[in-house]
Amino acid sequence: MEEPDVTAPGMPQLDFSTYPNQIFWLVVSIVVLYLILSRTALPRIAAVLADRRGTITNDIAAAEDAKAKAAEAEEAHKQALADARAETNRIIEAARQEIQAELDAQMAEAEAEIAARAAESEARIRAIRDSARDMVAEVARDTTREVLHLFDVKADARSVTAAVNARLKAEGGAQ
Amino acid sequence: MAEGGIDIRPVDQFIVKPLFGGDVVNWYTPTNVTLWMALTVLAATALMVYGARGRAVIPSRAQSMAELSYSFIYKMVEDVAGRDAIRFFPYIMTIFLFVLFANLLGLIPFAFTTTSHIAVTAVLALTVFISVTALGFVLHGAKFLKLFWVDSAPLPLRPILAVIELLSYFVRPVSHSIRLAGALMAGHAVAKVFAGFAAALGAAFFIPVLAVTALYALELLVAVIQAYVFTILSCIYLKDALHPAH
């Protein structure tokens, strides 16, 4: 390591004897690197970058498409919901009316039955009352006849009956 | 350099040596230049070809880095040189990746930094300069010379400005190449000097070691920034060729 100073006392950069060597190998290296880059590396990277740009553009388009579809689906969903609600209301209304009609019918039927029963009962009461009045008349006639017989009063049956009936009528009219 | 025990040789790392012994460096001799340039090409290939081999829509980390480099330079060419410069994108990408990986690999201890040599950066810069100038004349013919004729300036000033413009145009490859080589050489040489101090200082070795650590971080930044600067300047020169009007 002592002898190089003999040939290159100053800077090795200014040792012109090495210039042809450096220039030759520089030209070789640059040409090789240029060929590698221009033939292989740069087209490949350019393709990758273009590919990526394409992918990104496509993805953005796809995302927008999906977004539009989602909005559409939401719209459809809302529409279906509104339809379902309207249908529900319609069904509820129909059911209510049906029930109301049935209720009305049953109510009318029940009222009719009640009226019929009441009429029947009234008729029976009237019959009982009538029969009771007849019995009272008969009892009164019999009693009158018995009383008259006890007092030995001769009275024909017809006048007795007429008297009792007149009295009863007077009573009935007073009632 | 020779006094005491301190023998720091900060520039020895830049010596071009044949790989397989011998002292003669012919133009075809495989040297450390060959090795590290081959590694540079390999590293760039590893990132851009092997890293992106998955072709995945969702990239792996390596693929992500490859795509990031691609998009970064693509956008730079588009923004700086215009849409019609996209056809030169592979050239610009080659320059960027070569300089970037040469700079980064040079930071490995005991590595040889190919871009610290003015011969290398000058060839890179002259290639850009000559091809851009040729392109300008091919696309615009004599109108390309309007680049040096500032129409917006007052007429008497225009010849003077033309001389200045012409000078600055020809200084371009010089500054373009020396900026890159100088930044890297200086950083590496300083790192070596500090490292030499660490060996010489004994117990206080940690001071230069800390300095080297900080410097290393800075050098990492410089490596990337210089690659970026070299590339964006190439784009600016390309823009002048495509659109010579001011």
pLDDT, mean of residues B57-77: 92
Helix axes A19-36, B118-140, angle to 10 degrees: 60
Tell me what the mean pLDDT of segment B2-18 comes to.
Answer: 72
Query: For the residues A52-58, what does the mean pLDDT come to?
Result: 92
Interchain CB distance below 8 Å, A44 and B49: yes
Interval A104-131: pLDDT, tens: 999 999 999 999 999 999 999 999 998 9
B229 vs B16: which has the higher pLDDT: B229
Residues of chain A in contact with residue B67, where contact means CB-CB under 8 angstroms, are 45, 48-49
pLDDT given at position A174: 52
What would the two tokens of residue B60 be?
A: 């792996």
Cα of A29 to nearest chain B Cα, Å: 6
Percentage, residues of chain B above pLDDT 70: 96
Highest mean predicted confidence (pLDDT) among A103-112, A148-157, B108-117, B199-208: A103-112
Taking 3-state DSSP, the helix, strand and coil percentages for chain B, each rounded to the nearest 5, stand at: 75, 0, 20
For tokens 């796809």, name the residue: A62
Q: What is the CA radius of gyration of chain A?
A: 66
Q: Do A25 and B33 touch (CB under 8 A)?
A: yes
Q: B111 pLDDT exceeds 60?
A: yes
Chain B residues closer than 8 Å to A22 by CB = 16, 33, 114, 117, 119-120, 123
For the record, the structure tokens of A37 come out as 């880059």
Question: How far does A26 lie from chain B, in Å, by closest CA?
Answer: 7
CA distance B93 to chain A (A): 8
* Six-digit token string for B119: 């011969």
Q: Do A25 and B89 touch (CB under 8 A)?
A: no
SS3 (DSSP) at B31: strand
CB-based contact B238:B85 (threshold 8 Å): yes
Using an 8 Å CB-CB cutoff, list chain B residues near A12.
11-12, 14-16, 117
- Write down the residue that tokens 């000078």 correspond to: B167
| pLDDT value, residue B57 | 83
Mutate to test the interface with B, among A3, A7, A30, A57 (most CBs of B within 10 A): A30
| pLDDT for res B109 | 86
Question: How much is the ipTM here?
Answer: 0.88
Q: Please report which helix (H) or strand (E) contains residue B137, including its range.
A: helix B118-140
Query: How would residue B5 be classed by pLDDT, with cut points 50, 70 and 90?
Result: low
Q: Does A18 touch chain B (CB under 8 A)?
A: yes
pLDDT for residue B94 is more than 70 = yes
**What tokens were used for A139?**
């009892």
Residues B112, B17 contacting (CB under 8 angstroms): no
pLDDT of the residue at B193: 87
Cα–Cα nearest to A34, from B102, B126, B64, B88: B88
Contact B66 A45 (CB under 8 A): yes
> A18-22, B25-29, B89-93: which has the minimum mean pLDDT?
B25-29
Taking only the tens place, the pLDDT of each residue in B182-233 is 999 999 988 888 888 887 887 888 888 898 999 999 999 999 999 999 999 9
* B50 secondary structure, DSSP code: I
**Does the structure show a pLDDT above 90 at A164?**
no
Are B1 and B7 within 8 A, CB to CB? yes
Residue A17's alpha-carbon distances to B161, B200, B204, in angstroms, are: 39, 33, 41
With contacts defined as CB-CB under 8 Å, which chain A residues touch B123? Answer: 22-23, 26-27
Q: Which of B237, B11, B10 is nearest to B124 (CA)?
A: B237
The candidate with the shortest Cα–Cα distance to B184, out of B113, B125, B120, B233, is: B113
A172 to chain B, any CB pair closer than 8 A? The answer is no
* CA-to-CA separations, B151 to B9, B139, B154, B161, B246, in angstroms, rounded: 53, 20, 8, 10, 8
Min distance B133 CA to chain A CA atoms (Å): 20
Bigger pLDDT: A127 or B9?
Answer: A127
What is A51-99 written as a DSSP string? HHHHHHHHHHHHHHHHHHHHHHHHHHHHHHHHHHHHHHHHHHHHHHHHH
Q: A75-89, pLDDT tens digit by residue?
A: 999 999 999 999 999
Tell me, what's the pLDDT at B196? 84
Whether residue B71 is predicted with pLDDT greater than 50 in this model: the reply is yes
Contacts of B136 (CB under 8 A, 6+ apart): B144, B147, B240, B241, B242, B244
- Given a contact cutoff of 8 angstroms between Cβ atoms, the answer to whether B82 and B242 are in contact is yes
Residues forming a β-bridge with B31: B18
Here the tokens at position A140 are 């009164």
- Res. B56: pLDDT tops 70: yes
Give the distance from residue A92's alpha carbon to the nearest chain B alpha carbon, in angstroms.
59
Using a CB-CB cut-off of 8 Å, the residues of chain A touching B44 are 33, 36-37
* Segment B121-149 mean pLDDT: 91
B163 CA to chain A: closest CA distance, Å?
30
Confidence of residue A9 (pLDDT cuts 50, 70, 90): low
Is pLDDT above 80 for A50? yes
The residue of chain B nearest to residue A32, with distances taken between CA atoms, is B41
User: Is residue A37 within 8 Å of residue B93, measured between CB atoms?
Assistant: yes
